[in-house]
């Protein structure tokens, strides 16, 4: 049976179709979820994709965090459902307190769009098992509010517990503390990152590399082996 991976569309989501496509290319079945859905249609995992949910008018992800679909998502994420938050999805996950810290506007105040080099710091999450720790990858990054912040105690805890999953290499594009590009929750089933793996799954587009594909094959493998 094919793994079913939900992709939530909020008003203002931009990357839902690319994410569905990446899931299909990885060999799973994408399931469209709507922000007003009150259940998750029994999917095996969920991706919160990039964009500007509800216009990000209050803070990035703050309004989406209270949409109907988030109620079962928060409950099931706490119970172990794999959830990947990309960019706006990462912002929603911090606003929902499924991941610690918060996302703020880039320190240079500009929208940024570039091919970003990252180091995979942890292969011990539901979405990174097809990488090896220390691996360097290139995937596109595009954001306005990508500055990850948390207090020093939280940052130390994340480092000590191996929950800094991705770090920016060579260039910090947004002023993120300790060059953090992505983190996970304690169990490793909830992962958030700012760059966009769904835009790097085919050699013809994006960076010209397919460094984003292991995100989606990792979760597939985990679900198949579960």
Partner 1 sequence: MARVVVDVMLKPEILDPQGQAVQRALPRLGFDGISDVRQGKRFELEVDGPVDEAALARIHQVAESFLANTVIEDFTVKVEEVAEAAK
Give the active site residues.
87, 196, 198
What number of H helices and E strands is found in the chain? 5, 11
Q: Give SS3 for 102.
A: strand
In angstroms, what is the C-alpha Rg of the chain? 16
Query: Residue 94 or 184: which CB sits closer to partner 1?
Result: 94
Query: Residue 89 or 214: which CB sits closer to partner 1?
Result: 89
Query: Residue 86 or 103: which CB sits closer to partner 1?
Result: 103
Q: Are 216 and 25 in contact (CB under 8 A)?
A: yes
Q: Which two tokens stand for residue 29?
A: 């079945």
Query: Residue 48 or 102: which CB sits closer to partner 1?
Result: 102
Q: Which two tokens stand for residue 139?
A: 């995937």
CB of 102 to partner 1, least distance (A): 4
Angle value at C-alpha 18, between 15 and 20, nearest 5 degrees: 105
CB of 15 to partner 1, least distance (A): 23
CB of 59 to partner 1, least distance (A): 6
CB of 107 to partner 1, least distance (A): 5
CB of 176 to partner 1, least distance (A): 11
Q: What span, in angstroms and rounded, lies between the C-alpha atoms of 135 and 70?
A: 33
The residues that touch partner 1, with contacts defined as CB under 8 A, are 58-59, 62, 66, 94-95, 100-102, 104-109, 147, 149-151, 175
Q: What span, in angstroms and rounded, lies between the C-alpha atoms of 159 and 179?
A: 12
Q: Are 99 and 190 in contact (CB under 8 A)?
A: yes
Query: Residue 57 or 80: which CB sits closer to partner 1?
Result: 57
Closest CA to 167 of 129, 141, 188, 143: 141
């Amino acid at each position: 049976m094919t793994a079913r991976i939900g992709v939530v569309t909020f008003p203002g989501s931009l990357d839902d179709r690319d994410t569905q496509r990446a899931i299909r290319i990885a060999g799973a079945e994408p399931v469209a979820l709507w922000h007003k859905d009150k259940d998750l249609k029994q999917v095996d995992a969920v991706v919160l994709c990039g964009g500007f949910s509800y216009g990000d008018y209050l803070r990035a992800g703050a309004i989406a965090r209270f949409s109907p679909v988030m109620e079962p998502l928060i409950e099931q994420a706490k119970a172990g459902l794999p959830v990947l938050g990309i960019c706006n999805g990462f912002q929603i996950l911090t606003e929902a307190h499924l991941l610690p810290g918060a996302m703020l506007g880039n320190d240079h105040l500009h929208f940024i769009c570039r091919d970003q080099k990252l180091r995979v710091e942890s292969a011990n999450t539901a979405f990174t098992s097809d990488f090896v720790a220390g691996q360097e990858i290139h995937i596109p990054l595009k954001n306005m509010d990508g500055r990850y912040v948390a207090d020093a105690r939280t940052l130390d805890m994340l480092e000590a517990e191996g929950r800094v999953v991705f770090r920016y290499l060579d260039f910090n594009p947004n002023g993120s503390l300790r060059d953090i590009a992505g983190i996970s929750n304690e169990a490793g089933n909830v992962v958030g990152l700012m760059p966009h793996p769904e835009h790097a799954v085919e050699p013809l587009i994006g960076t010209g590399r397919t460094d984003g594909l292991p995100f989606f094959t990792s979760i597939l493998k985990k679900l198949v082996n579960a």
